[in-house]
């Protein structure tokens, strides 16, 4: 029969890799909790309109990357391409605006985008994200950016840059749009096909294009910063001053416009030089209009999401080599009585909090000891018929090879101090 394979761009995480992932997720959770964020768990699929209305109909994500299907009653559903839209939907649906303290959430889980798979770009990938609701204050932006920076820095990721830009308010961008469109139309000939299409659909995204010819054409283009209102400028200046105050290094990037339409004012992205083409580790920004767009009362909001695959790629070897297990004991039960006692010993050890394993295919001591070595066990508990008759087991230290008798009647009491952290 033919072998069924996994889907292109959708990866398995094998047991050798999961300790590293747990380490990353636990570290992110710890930092988020320290900054006053609480976990929210939102569904993996939602009605399609939620994403179309929030991310923007003319974005790449909505135009060509969503996994959309019809439910049995004809409703159009979509696998979530990101976590912000669903979090806002939950915020509105559960009337969280009525709670008189800022609502600060974090989430982690799989997201789905039909992109061309390559290193660091998958069709099912994982994000850790945070969203902060209710505070129209530059200190809320600084808080979120600081959390992003601390998570990545604490993991020891190398050569990170925090890029930041001011997208202004919707009215600022409306004022800038015709100025930019006019410039782009004049220089239309040299632009790539994608950018030509974007001139009318989403002109700001042309600034973000990575094609060198497009970049040189847009370099002298009029800048959004020249169209910003005094309020937008002063808000952004306070965000930068806050980052200076707590010594978070950043670099200004006037091209940073982001691939999602809901942002205003502060937008940011952390990139890493050794990630290749897909160099964004995490990104986010302020999105003060989205709660209202999705039917809630006007609520300021700011957040970010990091890509866990990209973090896992960057994590230094020192962090990668974390042992997947605590100290572990192998139970070698063989012979008629030894096999039976082996089962009770395994259960007793596990009930007392010890990690204990055995390979039930092994029938000789030699075979058991080989498996204990392969499994990286620190001790082996040897239980043959002779030992059982005497009411003991032999405890073998796999490194020093020394061994001594332990009483079966008080097995876990004698072994616990050796295996559990004091």
Compute the least distance from the CB of residue 66 to ligand HAM, in Å. 12
Nearer of residues 109 and 259 to ligand HAM, judged by Cβ: 259
What are the Cα distances from residue 357, in Å, to 330, 331, 415?
Answer: 5, 6, 14
Compute the least distance from the CB of residue 13 to ligand HAM, in Å. 13
Q: Does residue 284 belong to the site contacting ligand HAM (CB under 6 A)? A: yes
The closest of 329, 331, 339 to 388, measured between CA atoms, is 339
> From CA 327, how far away is CA 413, in angstroms rounded?
16
| Cβ–Cβ < 8 Å for 278, 121 | yes
The 297-336 contact track toward ligand HAM, x by CB under 6 A, reads: ------xxxxx-xx--------------------------
The closest of 309, 310, 287, 307 to 299, measured between CA atoms, is 287
CA geometry: angle 17, 20, 22, nearest 5 deg: 110
Q: Does residue 264 belong to the site contacting ligand HAM (CB under 6 A)? A: no
From 46, 60, 115, 348, residue interacting with ligand HAM (rule: CB under 6 A):
115
Nearer of residues 58 and 403 to ligand HAM, judged by Cβ: 58
Compute the least distance from the CB of residue 270 to ligand HAM, in Å. 8
The closest of 167, 266, 175, 182 to 221, measured between CA atoms, is 182
From 56, 134, 168, 282, residue interacting with ligand HAM (rule: CB under 6 A):
282
- In terms of Cβ atoms closer than 10 Å to its own Cβ (0-12, 13-18, 19+), residue 263 is buried
> From CA 328, how far away is CA 376, in angstroms rounded?
8
Compute the least distance from the CB of residue 124 to ligand HAM, in Å. 8
- In terms of Cβ atoms closer than 10 Å to its own Cβ (0-12, 13-18, 19+), residue 219 is exposed
The 117-156 contact track toward ligand HAM, x by CB under 6 A, reads: ---xxx--x-x-x-x-------------------------
Compute the least distance from the CB of residue 62 to ligand HAM, in Å. 12
Compute the least distance from the CB of residue 411 to ligand HAM, in Å. 48
Nearer of residues 136 and 280 to ligand HAM, judged by Cβ: 280
Compute the least distance from the CB of residue 302 to ligand HAM, in Å. 7
Selected range binding ligand HAM among 36-44, 191-199, 275-283, 353-361, rule: CB under 6 A? 275-283
Compute the least distance from the CB of residue 227 to ligand HAM, in Å. 23
The closest of 260, 267, 259 to 239, measured between CA atoms, is 267
Nearer of residues 172 and 261 to ligand HAM, judged by Cβ: 261
Nearer of residues 19 and 259 to ligand HAM, judged by Cβ: 259
Q: What is the 8-class DSSP label of residue 283? A: E
| Cβ–Cβ < 8 Å for 303, 131 | yes
Q: Which residue is nearest to ligand HAM (CB)?
A: 307
- Beta-bridged to residue 45, according to DSSP, are 79
As a three-state string, the secondary structure of 316-381 is CHHHHCCCCCCCEEEEEECCHHHHHHHHHHHHHHHHCCCEEECCCCCCCHHHHHHHHHHCCCCEEE
> From CA 383, how far away is CA 394, in angstroms rounded?
7
Rounded-to-5 percentages of helix, strand, coil across the chain: 45, 20, 35
Size of the site for ligand HAM (CB under 6 A): 28
Q: Does residue 104 belong to the site contacting ligand HAM (CB under 6 A)? A: no
Selected range binding ligand HAM among 79-87, 233-241, 249-257, 354-362, rule: CB under 6 A? 79-87
Compute the least distance from the CB of residue 192 to ligand HAM, in Å. 21
Which residues are at the interface with ligand HAM (CB under 6 A)?
82-84, 113, 115, 120-122, 125, 127, 129, 131, 259-260, 280-285, 287, 303-307, 309-310
């Amino acid at each position: 029969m033919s072998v069924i394979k996994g889907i292109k761009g959708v990866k398995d995480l094998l047991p050798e890799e999961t300790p590293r992932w747990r380490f990353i997720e636990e570290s992110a959770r710890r930092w988020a909790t320290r900054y006053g964020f609480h976990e929210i768990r939102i569904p993996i699929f939602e009605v399609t309109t939620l994403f179309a209305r929030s991310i923007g109909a003319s974005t790449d994500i909505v135009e060509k990357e969503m996994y959309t299907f019809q439910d049995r009653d004809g409703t159009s559903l979509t696998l979530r391409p990101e976590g912000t839209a669903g979090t806002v939907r939950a915020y509105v649906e559960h009337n969280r605006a009525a709670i008189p303290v800022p609502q600060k959430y974090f989430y982690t889980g799989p997201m789905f985008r039909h992109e061309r798979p390559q290193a660091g770009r998958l069709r099912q990938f994982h994000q850790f994200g945070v969203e902060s609701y209710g505070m129209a204050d530059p200190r809320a932006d600084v808080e979120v950016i600081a959390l992003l920076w601390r998570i990545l820095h604490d993991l020891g990721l190398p050569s990170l840059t925090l890029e930041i830009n001011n997208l202004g308010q919707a009215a600022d961008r409306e004022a800038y749009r015709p100025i930019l469109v006019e410039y782009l139309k004049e220089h239309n000939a040299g632009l790539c096909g994608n950018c030509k299409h974007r001139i009318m659909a989403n002109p700001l995204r042309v600034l973000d294009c990575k094609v060198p010819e497009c970049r040189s054409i847009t370099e002298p283009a009029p800048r959004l910063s020249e169209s910003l209102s005094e309020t937008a400028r002063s808000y952004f200046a306070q965000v930068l001053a806050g980052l200076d105050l707590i010594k978070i290094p950043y670099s200004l990037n006037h091209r940073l416009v982001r691939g999602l339409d809901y942002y205003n004012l502060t937008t940011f992205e952390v990139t890493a030089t050794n990630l290749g083409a897909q160099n964004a580790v995490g990104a986010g920004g302020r999105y003060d209009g989205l709660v209202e767009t999705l039917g809630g009362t006007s609520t300021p909001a700011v957040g970010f999401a990091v890509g866990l695959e990209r973090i896992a790629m960057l994590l230094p070897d020192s962090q990668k080599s974390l042992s997947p297990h605590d100290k572990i004991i192998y139970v070698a039960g063989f012979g008629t009585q030894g096999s039976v006692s082996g089962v009770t010993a395994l259960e007793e050890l596990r009930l007392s909090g010890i990690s204990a394993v055995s390979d039930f295919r092994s029938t000789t001591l030699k075979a058991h000891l080989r498996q204990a070595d392969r499994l990286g066990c620190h001790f082996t508990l040897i239980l043959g018929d002779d030992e059982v008759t005497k009411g003991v087991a032999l405890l073998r230290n796999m490194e020093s090879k020394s061994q001594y008798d332990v009483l079966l009647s008080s097995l876990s009491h004698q072994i616990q101090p050796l295996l559990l952290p004091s």
